[in-house]
Structure 1
Amino acid sequence: MEHDLVVFVPGFLGTRLRRDGRDVWGEGGEALLGPGTSAPALAGLALPAGLGDALPEERFRLAADELLTVPDSMPGFLSCMGYPDLRAALGDPVEGQYVPFPYDWRLSHRLVAGLLRTRVQRALARWCEQVDRYYPDRPDDPKVLLVCHSTGGLVGRYYLECLGGRETARELVTLGTPQRGLAQAVRLLTGHAVGDDEAPGGAAGPLNEALRDLALTLPSVAQLLPVYEAVRVEGKSRARTVDDRRYPVPDLPTALVEDALSLDRHFQEAREAHRHTDTDGRLPYQVHVVGSRAFPTVRTVQLSSDGSQLVTRRDEGLLAPGDGTVPGDSAFADWALQDETAMRWIECRHADMASAAAVGETLAAVRKGDPPGGMLAGDEQISLFAPDTALAGEPFKVSVVGTGLRERNVRAEMWRVGRQGKQPVVFTATGPDLFRAELEAGPGKWVVQAMADGPSRADRRVVILFAR
C-alpha cells in the first residue's frame, strides 16, 4: 500500500565496503586483475576462519553505509549493475518512507537478518510518527513493503519467517533471488570460478586461487551453495546434492556444506511451523517473485566418473533457462507460491533486475495495491552475449540476438567501470536476428551495452579482463 514503509535490501556486492574512506573491494578487485594476480590483493576483505554467524572483531570490520551505484562484479560468480535510480522505480516515496539497507555482504545471512530486524523496527516506529502528515486518509496503520534484490531475498525471507518480521510485513518482493542456491558457489569455493576454457593458457589459475581463498572466509558465499540436486557425475544418470556421501565434491569443505543446508533447513522449519498456525496455511503477507528464464544459466556442476575431480570445461548440458546467474527453478519461491505460474517472469539479466523497467511497473502496482502482471517479457527484447571473463589485450567475441534486428538500428558501446568516456562498438549483421563483434581492451571491469529501436530495448554485461 502507498502509505507503507518501503525497505530495500540489496544483494551480494550491492553495498560499498570501505575502510578509512577507501573502497576495499573496488581497489582489491582492480588489483586482482593486474599481472601477478595473488591473494594479497583481497587480504583486506577476508574474514577470520570459523566466524559463522558472529560479527568480526573490529580490525576485520568494514563500513557498509552506501548502496552501489555503478556496475561491479566478482569474476565467475555474481554481478550487480548498481542501484542509481531505485527510489524513482519505487514511485519516489516521501521523506522517511524509503529505507535502503546497505550491509556488509561478506557476513552470514542469519546475522544480517538480525541487523535488518533492528533497522526495520526503528524505521517503522519513526514512520508511524509522521505518516499522518502525508497519508491522513490511509485505511490502516503502515506496515512494511520489503523489496529484495538477489541474495538480499535470502536475508529478507529469514528475517520474516525466523526473526518475527512477518508480524509487521505487508508484502515481500524478491528480484532474482537464488531461493535454492547457486551452482556457481560450488565452482567459486573449489577454485574453479573462471573456467579454463575462458582463460586460455591456464591464466585463470592464480585468479581462481585468490578468489577461493577469499570466498572460503565469507559465510555469505557458503550459504549460497545449492540445496537442490546440482551435481552430476559422468556416466551416472541422476543428479545429486552437494552433501551426497558417495560422491562428495572434491575440495568443498564439509562445514560449508552443512552451514548452507542448515540455513535452508532452519528457514523451512520455521515456515512449516507457521503454516500450521496461519489461517488456511496462508502467509500473513503477500509475496511477489520476479525472475527470468531468458538466458542460459549454469544449473549444475559435473564430477569425473570416479568423483575425484570437478570437470572444469563448460558443457551446455549443465545449463538451464535463467537470468544468466540464477536458474529459473532456483528463483522460484516454492515456500510461498503454489507453482511457477504465480511468478513474474521478465527478460532481464540478474545484475540488472532491480533497475529493469518491467520491475518498476511491478513495484508501482504493488505499492498501489494493484495486481502486477504475470508475464512481463516481450518478444522485442534483445539479448547480449559476452564472456564473464577474458584476457586483456586479446580479442573476445560478443553477439546480440533479437527479433528483426536488421531494421532496429542496433548500436553498442563499452566503458571501463570507474572511468569517464564510452567507446562505440561496431557490430556486423550475420543474420536477420543476429549481430556479432570482436572486442579488445586493457585489464579491468568493462561494461558492454547494446541497444535497439522499434521498440527501444537494451541489454548489458560486465566483462572482466585480467592480465596474463
Structure 2
Amino acid sequence: MTRCPRPLTAWTPEGCSRSPTRSPGLLSCLGYPDLRTALGDPLDAQFVPFGYDWRLSHRLAARQLGERVARELDRWRAEAGAHYPDRPDDPRVILVCHGTGGLVGRHYLECEGGRETARTLITLGTPQQGLVQAARLLAGQAVPDGAGPDGDVAARLNEALRAWALGLPAIAELLPLFRAVRVEGGTRERVITQRPVPGVPGEAVGQALAFQERFRLACDRNARSGPRPYAVHCLGSVDFPTPEALVLPAGPGGEHLADDLLGPGDGTVPRRSALADWTGTDPMLWTGFRNADLASAPALRDTMRAVRRGLPPGETLAGPEGIVLHFPRDPVAAGRPFVIDLLGHDLPQRDLRTFMWRSGRVREKQPVVFRQYEPDRYRAELEVTPGRWVVEALVDRPKGRDRKDVTVVAV
C-alpha cells in the first residue's frame, strides 16, 4: 500500500452532508437536504443515515456499515410489530447509496456477509468501475495548465493534490478499470494495466485490481449458493458531458496528459463506469439528473415509492431537463477568469434565470450574465474570490434547472 506522507486521521461523520462538499478534482456533492423526503418520509425509527470516512478503504467502510446494520436491524425488529402488525415477513434493510457509497454498500452485501440482511440496494451515480479523475489526481494532473496567473500555479496545485491523494486508499480503489486510456492521435482504448498512466504508482493500480477482484470473486462464490436474495436498482444519467478516457502523449518520454475525452454520463461518472454488470442483469434506471442531484427528491421519489411497495421502478424516471451547466475542471485559481458554458434550447424565451453564491450563503445570491455564442450555447466569464461557489440556472416552459459548484483556490 502506498504510504501516506503524514498520518491519516480518520473521522466519523454523524449523518448526511446538507451543504456542498467536494474532493478537489474528483467528486462533488450538493448535499442531501431533502433525502428523507425523497425516501417517502419514513418513520424516525426506520430512517438511519450512515456517514463514513470516505478517504479510507471502501472495504473498511463496508465492515463499519455491517456493524451499524446489525445494531439497527436488531433494534427495528423489536419495534416493527408496533408499527406494522400485519407485515408479511421479517424486516430487512433498503440501502440507498450515493456515489462511492454504492461501492461500500455492494461490498458489504457480497463480501461482508450482508446479503441476507437486505431487501434492496439502490445506488445513485456510483462509479461501478472507477473514475478517470482518480488517475489524474494520482498522476499529478488534476488541475489544467494555465489555471492561475503565473506558469507554475497549476504545477504547485497538482503537486499538493497528488501528495494528498497518495495517502488515501479510497482514491486508489477508484482507479478506472474499464477501457479508459487512449494514446493521442489513436482510436484504440486500453485499460490502465495495458497502458500505464505516467505518474500513477503501480502499487495504486494493484490496490484497485485487488479491490475489484475480491468483490468479483465474492459475487461468483455467492452466486453458486443460489439467487441473490436482494434486488438491485442503479440510477444513472447519460445527459451530461463526462470524462470517460485519459489521453496519453504519443511521443516518447512525454508525461503531460491531454484533455480528457468526454462521453455520455452524469457529469462525474461516465456511462461506461455506471453500468453494474456484476449483477448479471440490467439494473440501470436512466434519469435526466446530474450526479450531485441524483439523491434529490425529484430524481429518487418515484423509485422509492415503487421499491417500498414491492413494485418494479420504471425504466425512465425523468426526461432531460433541457438545461446543462458545463464547468472547467475543478479547482480553478483566484485572480484569473474562468469560463462556464450553458447548453439548452430556446433559453431566453423560457425565462432564463442564472445566479451564483458562495456555498452556505444562498441568501447572498447574485445574477450571472450569459451571452449566446452559438445556437443553444451560452457562455459566462467569472472571476471570484477563493472559496466554494455554486452556480444555478433555471428556466420555465417546461421547467428545468441545473446547479453545479466549483472550488476557487488562493494562489
Range into which the TM-score falls when normalised by the shorter chain:
over 0.9
Q: Find 1:286's aligned residue among 209, 221, 231.
A: 231
Alpha-carbon offset, residue 114 of structure 1: 0.4
Q: State the TM-score, normalizing by the size of structure 2.
A: 0.93
Q: Shift in Å at residue 100 of structure 1?
A: 0.7
Query: Paired residue for 1:181?
Result: 130
Paired AA for residue 408 in structure 2: L
Query: Contact 1:405–1:432 at 8 Å: present in 2 too?
Result: no
Spell out the pairing of 1:180-259 with structure 2 (5 A cutoff).
180-196=129-145, 198-199=147-148, 201-202=150-151, 203-234=153-184, 236-244=186-194, 247-259=195-207
- Superposition deviation, residue 355 in structure 1: 1.3
Secondary structure in 2 matching 1:438: strand
1:13-412 equivalences in 2 (<5 Å): 50=3, 60-196=9-145, 198-199=147-148, 201-202=150-151, 203-234=153-184, 236-244=186-194, 247-278=195-226, 282-306=227-251, 308-315=253-260, 318-339=261-282, 342-355=283-296, 357-387=298-328, 388-412=330-354
Shift of 1:380: 4.0
Find the residue that maps to 1:160 and give its secondary structure.
helix
Encode CA deviations 1:111-142: one digit per residue, 9 max, x unaligned.
11000000001000000000112111211111
Task: Structure 1: state its 5+ residue gaps.
Answer: 1-47
Aligned length: 407
Distance 1:168 1:320 in 2: 37
AA matched with 2:214: H
Per-residue Cα deviation, 1:130-188 (whole angstroms, up to 9, x for no partner): 01121112111111101110000111101001111111111100000000001110000
User: In the aligned structure 1, how far is the partner of 2:267 from the partner of 2:113?
Assistant: 33
Please, what TM-score do these two structures have when normalized by structure 1? Answer: 0.82
Distance change >3 Å, CA 215–CA 404, structure 1 → 2: same
Q: Read off the aligned partner of 2:16 and give its amino acid letter.
A: L
CA contact under 8 A between 1:384 and 1:461: conserved in structure 2? yes
Looking at structure 2, the residues matched to 235 and 91 of structure 1 have their Cα atoms a distance apart, in angstroms, of: 50
* 3-state SS, counterpart of residue 319 of structure 1: strand
Distance 2:149 2:281 in 1: 45
**2:55·2:170 contact (CA, 8 Å) conserved in 1?**
yes
Deviation at 1:197, TM superposition (A): 5.0
Q: How many angstroms does 1:370 deviate by?
A: 2.0
Counterpart in 2 of 1:464? 407
Aligned mates of 2:274, 2:388 — CA distance in 1? 27
Q: Could you give the per-residue CA deviations for residues 333-379 of structure 1, whole angstroms, max 9, x where no partner exists?
A: 0011534xx41111221122211512222122211222211122424
Once residues 70 and 263 of structure 1 are traced to their aligned partners in structure 2, the CA distance between those partners, rounded to angstroms, is 30
Instruction: Return the offset for 1:452.
Output: 0.8
1:274 Cα shift? 1.6
Higher deviation after alignment, 382-391 or 130-139: 382-391
- Aligned partner of 1:73: which letter? R
